[in-house]
Chains A and B, each alone.
Chain A
Amino acid sequence: MSKAEIISWFRIQEMFRFESFHMYGIIGSAVILGVLIVQIIRRSQLSSTEGRPIIFSPKKKSITRYLAGGTIFGLGWALSGVCPGPMFVLVGHGYFSILLVIAGALLGTLAYGMLRSRLPH
């Protein structure tokens, strides 16, 4: 993540401003390869090293939670410039103010847990 500059706040801005192909190329090529990998695993019924077959559990059908949750996530992503992986890589880089973003993310997760039964899913 570090080496491809995914952890850069500026790369995220560039992506949302549609001024660079970089992030789209990364996500796009990962997904195209990912689709192939998943299909090959399915067809060959490959087992994991733990001996169990690799199964893909379908996510529950709904629109509200994915659209609402996704939009809130996107707002936070573009503001803080990090998603849940890169925030930890940046700690390693010595950007300690990112710890505040991580604290916020933990609080957000906690708030979701507390409000879950009252939110439309």
Chain B
Amino acid sequence: MEFLMQPWPWYVAGPIIALVMFLLLFFGKNFGMSSNLRTMCTIAGGGKVSDFFRFDWRGQRWNLTFVVGAVIGGVIAAKFLTPDPTIDLNPETVKALKGLGIQDPGAQYLPPELFGSEAVFSLKGLLILLGGGFMVGFGARYAGGCTSGHAISGLSDLQVPSLIAVIGFFAGGLFMSWVLLPLILQA
């Protein structure tokens, strides 16, 4: 019980993710989260604007169940398994983020400077959240997968396209963290 309440180390979380991938394969499915975004567009009537959304989404119901499970898992973890949401960040990261105007790095899962109500109701904050999400959604479909589809499933199958995509993930991520994010936060 004590173990359940603590944050899990990487050597527990990594193998659990591999196990989830195996279970999905074993039940004749694939491990890929971002496909759900496409399915949701289809359900919302996306077929009217593009062929890309004209497919039988019922075949994707299991994957949508995975989304529901993710939300429920979040509720359970938040209500029962997270006595303290503070994260033990590297002091270097804390210092760097403080320098960028983030007051209390690691105190919550998301920084209030970007996700708090004040930010959400400002034009800049709204654009950051919508724009960040837009790039995630657009990029994932353009690349044909996200972290679970490429970095976990694709690399496990030693697929070169997935390696190229993961290199892209890091190229974009590094540029954002080191160059753009400081500019955005201090603008």
Contact = CB atoms under 8 A, between A and B. Distances in A.
Interface in B154-184: 154-162, 164-178, 180-181, 184
| Residue in A3, A28, A34, A72 whose Cβ sees the most chain B Cβ within 10 Å | A34
Contacts of B119: 97
Grouping DSSP codes into helix (H, G, I), strand (E, B) and loop, the A interface class, with mixed when no group exceeds half, is: helix
B9 to A, nearest CB: 8
A90 B26 contact: no
Contact of A91 (B37, B74, B76, B120): B74
A71 to B, nearest CB: 4
B77 A93 contact: yes
Interface residues of B, number: 113
Interface residues of A, number: 98
Nearest to B105: A10
Given A20-B93, A65-B144, A71-B171, A29 B11 contact: yes
B50 A105 contact: no
Contacts of B120: 97, 100
Contacts of B156: 30-31, 34-35, 37-38
A37 B172 contact: no
A72 B171 CA distance: 9
A83 B18 CA distance: 17
Given A27-B152, A73-B168, A95 B26 contact: no
Given A33-B15, A76-B139, 6 more contacts: A23-B10, A30-B15, A34-B18, A65-B143, A71-B171, A73-B139
| 10 closest cross-chain pairs (CB), A and B | A70-B168, A92-B74, A104-B133, A74-B172, A34-B156, A76-B135, A108-B137, A69-B143, A73-B139, A29-B14
Interface of B: 7-15, 17-19, 21-22, 25-28, 33-34, 36-38, 40-41, 44, 46, 49-50, 52-53, 67, 70-78, 81-82, 87, 89-90, 92-93, 96-97, 105-106, 109-111, 114-117, 119-120, 126, 128-144, 146-148, 150-162, 164-178, 180-181, 184
